Chain A
Amino acid sequence: MNNKVVAMLLAGGQGSRLKSLTYTIAKPALPFGGKYRIIDFPLSNCTNSGIETVGVLTQYQPHVLHSYIGLGTPWDLDRRHGGVTMLPPFAEIDGNKWYAGTASAIYQNITFLQSCDPEYVLILSGDHIYKMDYEVLVDYHKEHDADVTISVLEVPWEEASRFGVINVDDQMKVLEFDEKPENPKSNLASMGVYVFTWKKLKEYLEADNLIEESSHDFGKDILPAMMENGEKMIAYPFKGYWKDVGTVDSFWEANMDLLDLNSGLNLHDSGWRIYSSNPQLPPQVINRTGNVQSSMVNEGCVISGEVTKSIIFQKVVVEENAQISESVIMSGATVHKGAKLHRAIVPPGFEVPEGFEIIDQQDKVVLLTDEEVEKWKERGEQ
């Protein structure tokens, strides 16, 4: 693909519904799938789609993201021309400007985009797990001679009201947007992935910036304005796995999907590799007392307990007689002897004490915190 496509990856989100998982890191930096961070997916999609210029827009807790992405080496984005550019908000002569919305984040980096001189701008979100060939999307945009192309996904009708729903005609021309409609007229959900013809986008960003009451958001402001003016808007039907891991539950589900060979999310596909930083760790060790089934385990782990249907990140230690099922154990955590975890998410470096059990869990997914451990201790004292 020629370098006339620039990807702008929105990675400033907090992900407040992920609770303590995102207190100190932005949502795109959230560890996922035993080895990855969420942002690896859109970044690797760029690499695999031949997109060589990527701007990453950060705002909330950017440090981990900045040091993680660095020069972009794992994604082959450490390039002389193009490559990855980190774009946090910055101060200007007339004051400091935070990114007020998705559109303002792009607007405030117009200078960067102009220096790239693209024909098309691809807007991506750093919050989603999916594998997508953006080259196909951009080609589709060109073929339809569109001003903007919105990538859409068929979702179950009963879930459609959770999404921005796109109504289209039989030529996939966008007729209407419905942001979280009560009675959806279509089950095509916007994935937050757009291709704009740069000239058009620039025009609309500049106009939107002058509107004081605008929330400077693509879904709420830019796209409706383009609709109103009769610009050519096309929907691109994406087929495949896609998940917004916005909540603790959906984060857990997406991890479990990795263990389901029919979920459509396959990390073992060498034709569309997901790249990530590779800490240099020794192979994983399964000890005599260990047993691992239906799980994914990363390097540097020592497993001496029982692990089923779980995702185990690097450098996790599972001691003897510990039992783990349907759980996500993040890097460097230790599950001490005899602890029992079911549907648990254990944050990085967490120590699960000997004999621990989650109190009053029922069937819920529980994110382990110090409070959960306190609750268990108190129960033991009673």
Chain B
Amino acid sequence: MNLIAVVDASIKKEGLQDLTMKRTVSSVPFAGRYRLIDFVLSSLVNSGVNTVGVFPCYPLASLLDHIGVGKSWDLDRRKNGLYFLPVTQRDGGISSVGAFAGFEEHLQFFTKSSQPYVIVTNSFVVTQLDYKDMLEKHIKSGADFTEAVSNGVQLKTYILSKDLLVELLQTYLDKQVVSVEDVVNLKKSPYTFNEYEYEGYFAVIDSIQSYFEASLDLLNEDKREQLFLANRPIFTKVKDEPPTRYVSGSHVERALIANGSTIMGTVTDSLISRGVYIKKGARVENCIIMQKSTVEENCDLAYVIADKEVYIGEGVVLHGTPERPIVLRKGASVSKEDLR
């Protein structure tokens, strides 16, 4: 395919702070068994893109551990494949997608590739974009930039020619622009712009509120069927978890549950990640419980987001609201005594 991709995973979202103390936005867990970056990587490989540069930000460990050499996406290749391209951390940083200052540090990634087009995208917008189709429309339009939009919402995904990108990397300071997103938003002359209308699933994850809504939205069959397409599977790091075990006395209604969990209590309208323990008599409603968390006996949780490895002690009652879910940070431990 005559397209290389850049996943700008360096964007920070203030609103997601509780979930990004020890990880980047791109490695925030989503939909039970995935990280946000899985969706863009999967869409790219499902569209036939086999050269992907990931621009991460710090802290890197969680993202590196998750992506590795790209094996889960068949991006561990001799020719092309996955490139991990960390950039110097700058104070303040740039919060728009496709920052030239970062790309500049890896100019060779662009100049050495033989493909004539570049897709610049991000990991906080979850889509099932068909980049191949987008490229075809881009070429047809003859425009310099094509931007993906859905019902007027910007998906922060752009296609341009590699030559144009390299030219911008050499002149962006003079032109007073900072990023691909910036150029497109300014409709900077002398360039021409085209929009690609996308109709499938999308969710912009930029706050706890939007994260919570998009997550619970997946309990709706129509949403789920838009995101989990049989011919465009979402790939993620393999964990070898056994099937989930439902113990006698469990009650589960309308839930999305990943493997390796043990359900003894009651779960309704919730998302449960891998390796979670819901003990006897516990009630979990409208919650997101992430990997390896434990909900002890007789807890009562509603509108709670429990990050990875959270321990919720026996009998704890926590009720958030749909607008303001309670977030328990990674590794937190909550007991009845704490709440008094």
Contacts and interface: CB of A to CB of B under 8 A. Distances in A.
Given A298-B243, A298-B259, A283 B252 contact: no
Interface string A228-246: 0000000000000000000
Given A287-B254, A299-B258, A267 B248 contact: no
A283 B242 contact: no
Contacts of A295: 245-246
A285 B244 contact: no
Contacts of B238: 74, 278
Contacts of B235: 280
A283 B224 CA distance: 11
A7 to B, nearest CB: 20
A292 B228 contact: no
**B interface SS class:** loop
A285 B72 CA distance: 23
Interface string B245-264: 11111111111111110100
Contact of A282 (B31, B72, B240, B249): B31
A294 interface: yes
A290 interface: yes
Contacts of B233: 280-281
A165 to B, nearest CB: 34
Interface residues on B, range: 35 or more
Contacts of A297: 243-244, 246, 257
Nearest to B72: A280
B31 A283 contact: yes
Given A268-B262, A281-B233, A294 B248 contact: yes
Given A267-B242, A274-B242, A296-B245, A283 B236 contact: no
Interface residues of A, number: 33
Nearest to A284: B257
Given A291-B251, A296-B246, A283 B256 contact: yes
B242 A294 contact: no
B234 interface: yes
B252 A292 contact: yes
Interface in A248-301: 261, 267-268, 273-276, 278, 280-288, 290-299
B162 interface: no
B313 to A, nearest CB: 22
Contacts of B251: 291, 293
A312 interface: yes
B32 interface: yes
Contacts of A278: 238-240
B243 A282 contact: no
A262 to B, nearest CB: 13
Nearest to A302: B221
B280 interface: no
Interface in B97-144: none
A280 B236 contact: yes
B148 to A, nearest CB: 23
Most interface-central of A35, A292, A294 (chain B CB within 10 A): A292
Contacts of A274: 240, 242
A33 interface: yes
A28 interface: no
B254 A288 contact: yes
Contacts of A292: 246, 250, 252
B253 A288 contact: yes
Contacts of B253: 286-288, 290-291
Nearest to B233: A280
Most interface-central of B239, B243, B252, B262 (chain A CB within 10 A): B243
Contact of B244 (A276, A294, A296): A296
Contact of A294 (B236, B240, B246): B246
A62 interface: no
Nearest to A278: B238
A291 B257 CA distance: 13
Contact of A293 (B244, B249, B256): B249
Contacts of B31: 282-283
B33 interface: yes
B288 to A, nearest CB: 12
A13 interface: no
A270 B105 CA distance: 42
B234 A280 contact: yes
A298 B31 CA distance: 16
Most interface-central of B33, B238, B245, B246 (chain A CB within 10 A): B246
A305 interface: no
Interface in B252-278: 252-260, 262, 271-272
A313 to B, nearest CB: 8
A34 interface: yes
Most interface-central of B239, B240, B256, B271 (chain A CB within 10 A): B240
A291 B248 CA distance: 11
Contact of A285 (B33, B224, B236, B239): B224
A86 to B, nearest CB: 22
A33 B241 CA distance: 12
A34 B243 CA distance: 6
Nearest to B263: A292
Contacts of B258: 283-284, 299
A154 to B, nearest CB: 27
Contact of B245 (A74, A268, A281, A285): A268
A286 B254 CA distance: 5
A312 B256 CA distance: 16
Nearest to A36: B242
A273 B247 CA distance: 20
Nearest to B269: A288
Contacts of B221: 287
8 contacts: A34-B243, A268-B242, A268-B260, A273-B240, A282-B33, A284-B258, A292-B246, A298-B243
| 8 shortest interchain CB distances as A-B pairs | A283-B32, A34-B243, A267-B242, A298-B243, A282-B228, A294-B248, A296-B243, A283-B258
Interface of B: 31-33, 72, 221, 224, 228, 233-236, 238-240, 242-260, 262, 271-272
Given A285-B255, A294-B247, 15 more contacts: A33-B243, A35-B242, A74-B240, A273-B240, A278-B238, A281-B233, A283-B31, A283-B257, A284-B256, A286-B255, A288-B254, A290-B253, A293-B247, A297-B246, A299-B258
